[in-house]
Structure 1
Amino acid sequence: MPPSEHEPLLSHPLLPAESTKGSTPSLESYAIPEEFPTRSIEDDVLPETSTLGRTITWSSAYILVISRVIGSGIFATPGVIVKDVGSVGLSLVLWVIGALVAACGLAVGLEYGCMLPRSGGEKVYLEFVYRKPKFLASTLVATQAVLLGFTASNCIVFAQYTLYAFDVDASDVLRKSLAVGLLTVITVLHGCFMTTGIRIQNVLGWIKVGLIIFMVISGLFVVLFRNHGHNGSGSQFPARSDLWKGADWSWGIISTSLFKVFYSFAGLNNVNNVMNEVRNPVRTLKSVSVTALVTAGVMYMLVNIAYFIVVPLDEIKESGELIAALFFERCFGQNVGRTLLPLAVALSGAGNVMVVTFALARLNQEIARQGFLPFSKLLASSRPFNAPLGGLVVHYIPSVLVIVLPPSGEVYSFILEVEGYPGQVFALASSIGLLWLRIKRPDLKRPFKAWRIAVALRIGLCLALLAAPFFPPREKEHKHGIWYATYAVVGISVIVFGLLYWYIWTKLIPAWQGYRLEEETDVLNDGTVRPFEVHPVTVHDIRDRESDYTLDKSGFQIHRHTASEKDFTDEEKIKTGYYAETENLLKDVTGASRVFIFDHTIRRQPPGQVSSGRNLRGPVQRVHIDQSYSAALSRVPHHLPDEAKKLLQGRVQIINVWRPIKTVQRDPLAVAEAKSVDDGSLVVTELIYPNRKGETYAVKHDPAHRWFYKSGLTPDEVLLIKCFDSKLDGRARRVPHTAFHVPGTENNEGRESIEIRALVFHEDDTLE
């Protein structure tokens, strides 16, 4: 069933922006029991987290993916791979396997990305699946992202090809300085001039695609039109009988070579990391990712064949990361082949560094937003340049260390292997989690569904690659003396460090100092959502003073009204009977000329299960206003297109009619008096529906906010909540509201309520 208009595809679990501790009664963050996990992606008042805006178009998204995929890998790894596996045939087979495995991984990423379309990528998905032990999935992903989320390999390739182009026999210091210099320039560019950075990386991305096509054509030119190259015979491609000559079938060798192939396909899910900034995110994700996979797979195979046609096998094995440079030199000679084209490869590497830095900075910002890093408030902010400068700094530091500290030699291959091994652990966890979600959460909307065979193949290969260190190659030492399984030890050490960090941070220190961790959210001044500090807030009970609070004065009002419907279990009766009663109620209270009900929500928590219907949810414990000013007005042409022009000339309101189904004993609803909440406390955040966009308001904490509720509200009373009023004469225009926890009521019967949302028109009233 396709998602309805009321179910945003993009949202974020925003807990109350106002929270309390020590007040009675008080607004406080209340953890919904695990058997009732928060279904945040279906709540229609939940905002996304990005404050950067939707600036990524389809073409920018394609470049973001293809520039991440086509980086230094295809220019540097083929020579290393054929050196390790020994034969051209086995090398080409590994590239085919790599493309198939990449397709399986992409299918998993597409299902997750379309089901949970928000920034953060794999971190968001693992957090959603693995909720217990609490914070473990988040901590492990954060550890891997910070310690292994670097771009050192592409910086190294940039330096090597640049120095090769200028025929500089550089020292390690010069090579590493050039690599660090590139990373520094890109960090400053993305951190201070984000729009300019995106434009530059787009240009470099198209240069990269053009370079790959040029290489393929060059290889064909050598075969078809030249009997002899500059440095040897025409085609160097081995005969069929020699394709498998010298092949090393050791699984230990094949597995590390596969890591290098996978590295060349890494980035197909790059858009998943920045979904909050993508226009039409679900549709764009599906088309861009598949297009990029086909592009990369075809180009990679053709370029490998071009290498083997032009460059002799012995030279390829000795070339290391400079195979593309040898290719150009043999095709075009010393001048063009050794200078201009290697510079183009260097620019390609720089473009890859730009897109990787762009995406990983946002992942690091998400990690800081959730409080996993020191100085998280500073690192999570997008100020002062409306860019994730803090996330860029977190990415910059480990990247520089990896460039500077290791010795030269096989550092490039070692980096790829170290990145690849723990990555298989997370790939295995996400694949198994996807199958588990299909069983436990069949109600989740899945605009794309991965093929089961693809998920199964991915799981099998992940297990095989994780077992690879137990199958040593014939020669257990690399030529620089690095033990063959060092990459696995380092990769597992990162995961073990994450486990220890999680235990110390979430178990040991809280037990020692006598506190416990709860996940809550705050909204920074720039709109960034992050874990927040607790603020005491008193909620005043208005029992016996209900008449003091009216819609126009306070933004809310208690009104006695008995409904004919009592159970609210029959949708048809609600829409035919209760809707009509509510329309008359609103006309009587407000004097409106017309009422149009566009939505209703029933909130209750059935014991022992999670409701599968959209209109059946638990209490929402986060401070919010359902619509922004502009989003409220946009509902008129959306619901009543033929009459919108006339209706918008008069006064327009959106009023929620909130009624308990049973007397409220737990999780009552609180509202903030309208005049105590200025517009500076409101943060506009977007909602992405299947067929339109909407906006809601998140609310920043302010001690001046005045909160109210009525205790023991009965089914014969309704709470009228004004979410919008176009009248500009000083009357209340909107009120924040939230459910909140009253200490001591944990064992009381769960709250049940129905909430009607209605457009209320005063056609004869002016806006002033």
Structure 2
Amino acid sequence: MAKVSAAEGLAPRAMDVGPEGADNDGDSGNGVRLKKELSLMNGVAIIVGVIVGSGIFVSPSLALKYAGSKGMALIVWVLSGFLSMIGALCYAELGTMIPKSGGDYAYIGEAFGPLLSFLYLWVALFVLVPTGNAITALTFAQNILQPLWPDCTPPRAANTLIAAIITCFLTVINCYNVKWVTRVQDSFTAAKILAFVITFIASLWYLFSGHTENLESIMEGTNTAPGDLAIAFYTGLFSYSGWNYLNFVTEELKEPYKNLPRAICISMPVVTLVYALTNVAYFAVLTNGEIHSSEAVAVTFSEKILGVMSWIMPLFVAMCTFGSLNGAIYASSRLFFVGARNGHLPLAISLIDIRRLTPVPSLVFMCLVTLIVLLTNNVESLIVYVTAVEALFTLCSVAGLLWMRYKRPLLMRPIRVNLLLPIAFLIICTFLVVFSCFTHPQEVGIGVAFTALGVPIYFVFIQWQNKPQWLQSTCNSFNLACSKLFLCLPENSKDL
């Protein structure tokens, strides 16, 4: 590797603004840069693979708890899918109008400036991404270990250890080769769909055998309290979270103008249908009490209906969460890569491996933060905490769409959604955030407070230009050490 100076070789690279740079081929020239390797089907696999993870196996009991009845819970699941679809279509316009990796970070920055985009990056780095990855990894570990402890819950230490191992393993795969990542994602997405088909067919067999008692009086006990329904929607929306992850890797998507909206329009209806049918299967086989008392609804379902073959369901759940975690690690690492490239994180995180052309420092840093979060185990609080904070910044992104419609009407928009969609999305999400404050004020308050903490961090470490020389030297030394350790260079470097 060529010698890199701390002052020049590791300087931040400006990011292209606007769609005119969208068709720049990631493979053009001899510079070090991420390559355009994602096809339409890879994009569909990433969206479906990231969404269908731990949520569908963790959230059904929580959704039923706050919805009160199976009928209302099913309505919540379907409406959550429609709401996510509306949000995804709004993001299709944002992603083709601002075809840059980084998702919400890029859109909020374009619309409202660097402070709000930094706050999103701050929250995503320490809350949204590592918490979501930790929940998925813990769900994987619990289902892998469950057959070894058939009559009780696996030890927490064993869960945490397995979750940490699988997080590190997938990080290594992501560091090594993007094509390996997409092959894993495509394979496990297909396996997920097969798992849900088996679940639904098994429930149909159960129903046709005359067991319809669990679907009688399906609306009995419905809860209409706005605060509780808001939390029910939170649990549903948590299960759909990930629909915007393809926007994180727009720069690596082939023909983003065509493939980004197509991938969204294919994947979201598929996920909504799969989730609805899966919940119908759960509700047909299990009583309300069995769902409420279960930490892993899919496992309880398999034990009741599959008999000696019940071991297959934990295996399928593990496959689902494995693929989901793989896709989340791949997509979210690009968010932090872009943030560092813009100078909002240490420049070392924006370096690219000179041999494999992957953002190794970003992946390693995200892995370390996720390992720390793995020590937390209150899933319900984490879901409310994460979804409330994420909803606030999703509102900012969609508000940015409306703001740029007004301020920059001539900006090229290959996709232009009906104005009613972002307005409806804003209104609904605002009500959900407001009502959730009444039932879980502590979780929502912590999320808002942590977001506000990013403001002084921004002014001290980003906005303050005349930093002491010792601090600048320390940062440069750290960046140079990471460059040597990981054999990485800044994007577009040509002196290899």
Residue 329 of structure 1 pairs with residue 303 of structure 2: yes
**Which residue of structure 1 lines up, in the alignment, with residue 122 of structure 2?**
143
* Structure 1 residues 287 and 141, CA gap change in structure 2 (3 angstroms): same
The CA deviation string for residues 403-446 of structure 1, in whole angstroms up to 9 with x for no partner, is: 12x2x4xx122222111111111111111111111122111111
* Structure 1 residues 91 and 196, CA gap change in structure 2 (3 angstroms): same
**Which residue of structure 2 lines up, in the alignment, with residue 172 of structure 1?**
156
Aligned-residue offset at 1:46: 7.2
**Which residue of structure 1 lines up, in the alignment, with residue 3 of structure 2?**
none
Residue 386 of structure 1 pairs with residue 357 of structure 2: yes
Task: Tell me which protein shows more strand as a share of its residues.
Answer: 1
Aligned-residue offset at 1:470: 4.0
**Which residue of structure 1 lines up, in the alignment, with residue 480 of structure 2?**
none
Q: SS state of the match for residue 215, structure 2?
A: coil
Instruction: Note if contact 1:77-1:261 (Cα within 8 Å) is conserved in structure 2.
Output: yes
**Which residue of structure 1 lines up, in the alignment, with residue 165 of structure 2?**
181
The CA deviation string for residues 477-497 of structure 1, in whole angstroms up to 9 with x for no partner, is: xxxxxxx32221221122112
Instruction: Note if contact 1:380-1:528 (Cα within 8 Å) is conserved in structure 2.
Output: yes
Residue 114 of structure 1 pairs with residue 89 of structure 2: no
Residue 192 of structure 1 pairs with residue 176 of structure 2: yes
Instruction: Note if contact 2:228-2:436 (Cα within 8 Å) is conserved in structure 1.
Output: no
Instruction: Note if contact 2:245-2:332 (Cα within 8 Å) is conserved in structure 1.
Output: no
* Structure 1 residues 42 and 222, CA gap change in structure 2 (3 angstroms): same
Instruction: Note if contact 1:115-1:446 (Cα within 8 Å) is conserved in structure 2.
Output: yes
Residue 357 of structure 1 pairs with residue 329 of structure 2: yes
Q: How many residues align?
A: 463
- Distance, in Å, in 2 between the alignment partners of 1:57 and 1:41 is 19
The CA deviation string for residues 58-101 of structure 1, in whole angstroms up to 9 with x for no partner, is: 22111111101111111221122112332112211211220121
- Distance, in Å, in 2 between the alignment partners of 1:271 and 1:305 is 29
> Aligned ranges for residues 138-537 of structure 1 at < 5 Å?
138-148=117-127, 149-150=129-130, 151-167=133-149, 169=152, 170-224=154-208, 226-227=209-210, 234-239=211-216, 242-320=217-295, 322-333=296-307, 335-337=308-310, 339-374=311-346, 376-377=347-348, 379-404=350-375, 406=376, 408=377, 411-472=378-439, 484-507=440-463, 509-510=464-465, 528-529=490-491
Instruction: Note if contact 2:96-2:413 (Cα within 8 Å) is conserved in structure 1.
Output: yes
Aligned-residue offset at 1:512: 7.2
Instruction: Note if contact 2:32-2:354 (Cα within 8 Å) is conserved in structure 1.
Output: no
- Distance, in Å, in 1 between the alignment partners of 2:188 and 2:218 is 35
Instruction: Note if contact 2:344-2:462 (Cα within 8 Å) is conserved in structure 1.
Output: no
- Distance, in Å, in 2 between the alignment partners of 1:378 and 1:117 is 21
* Structure 1 residues 386 and 43, CA gap change in structure 2 (3 angstroms): closer
The CA deviation string for residues 208-255 of structure 1, in whole angstroms up to 9 with x for no partner, is: 11111221121112112x24xxxxxx234332xx33322332222222
**Which residue of structure 2 lines up, in the alignment, with residue 80 of structure 1?**
62
Instruction: Note if contact 1:66-1:205 (Cα within 8 Å) is conserved in structure 2.
Output: yes
* Structure 1 residues 430 and 162, CA gap change in structure 2 (3 angstroms): same
Q: SS state of the match for residue 357, structure 2?
A: coil
RMSD after superposition:
2.9
Instruction: Note if contact 1:143-1:495 (Cα within 8 Å) is conserved in structure 2.
Output: yes
- Distance, in Å, in 2 between the alignment partners of 1:332 and 1:44 is 50
The CA deviation string for residues 734-762 of structure 1, in whole angstroms up to 9 with x for no partner, is: xxxxxxxxxxxxxxxxxxxxxxxxxxxxx
- Distance, in Å, in 1 between the alignment partners of 2:229 and 2:354 is 46
Instruction: Note if contact 2:333-2:362 (Cα within 8 Å) is conserved in structure 1.
Output: yes
- Distance, in Å, in 2 between the alignment partners of 1:45 and 1:212 is 37
TM-score by length of 1: 0.57
Aligned-residue offset at 1:384: 4.8
The CA deviation string for residues 693-745 of structure 1, in whole angstroms up to 9 with x for no partner, is: xxxxxxxxxxxxxxxxxxxxxxxxxxxxxxxxxxxxxxxxxxxxxxxxxxxxx
- Distance, in Å, in 2 between the alignment partners of 1:511 and 1:379 is 23
Higher-Rg structure is 1
* Structure 1 residues 398 and 468, CA gap change in structure 2 (3 angstroms): farther
> Aligned ranges for residues 467-616 of structure 1 at < 5 Å?
467-472=434-439, 484-507=440-463, 509-510=464-465, 528-529=490-491
- Distance, in Å, in 1 between the alignment partners of 2:167 and 2:370 is 8
**Which residue of structure 2 lines up, in the alignment, with residue 714 of structure 1?**
none
Letter aligned with residue 336 of structure 1: M
- Distance, in Å, in 2 between the alignment partners of 1:489 and 1:359 is 28
Q: SS state of the match for residue 386, structure 1?
A: coil
Aligned-residue offset at 1:42: 3.2
* Structure 1 residues 378 and 98, CA gap change in structure 2 (3 angstroms): closer
* Structure 1 residues 414 and 90, CA gap change in structure 2 (3 angstroms): same
Instruction: Note if contact 1:223-1:235 (Cα within 8 Å) is conserved in structure 2.
Output: yes
Aligned-residue offset at 1:289: 0.7
Instruction: Note if contact 1:155-1:350 (Cα within 8 Å) is conserved in structure 2.
Output: yes
- Distance, in Å, in 2 between the alignment partners of 1:302 and 1:84 is 20
The CA deviation string for residues 278-315 of structure 1, in whole angstroms up to 9 with x for no partner, is: 11221111111111011011111111111111112211
> Aligned ranges for residues 702-741 of structure 1 at < 5 Å?
none
Higher relative contact order (CA 8 A, sep 6+): 2
Task: Tell me which protein shows more helix as a share of its residues.
Answer: 2
The CA deviation string for residues 446-481 of structure 1, in whole angstroms up to 9 with x for no partner, is: 111122221111111221122124433xxxxxxxxx
Q: SS state of the match for residue 237, structure 1?
A: helix
- Distance, in Å, in 1 between the alignment partners of 2:23 and 2:284 is 59
Instruction: Note if contact 1:165-1:343 (Cα within 8 Å) is conserved in structure 2.
Output: no
TM-score by length of 2: 0.86
Instruction: Note if contact 1:72-1:154 (Cα within 8 Å) is conserved in structure 2.
Output: yes
- Distance, in Å, in 1 between the alignment partners of 2:458 and 2:226 is 34
Q: SS state of the match for residue 488, structure 1?
A: helix
Instruction: Note if contact 1:216-1:306 (Cα within 8 Å) is conserved in structure 2.
Output: yes
Letter aligned with residue 372 of structure 1: H
In structure 1, runs of 5+ residues without a counterpart are: 1-18, 21-28, 32-37, 228-233, 473-483, 518-523, 533-679, 684-768
Letter aligned with residue 177 of structure 1: L
Instruction: Note if contact 1:120-1:274 (Cα within 8 Å) is conserved in structure 2.
Output: yes
- Distance, in Å, in 2 between the alignment partners of 1:503 and 1:172 is 40
Aligned-residue offset at 1:39: 6.1
Aligned-residue offset at 1:44: 9.7
Letter aligned with residue 321 of structure 2: G
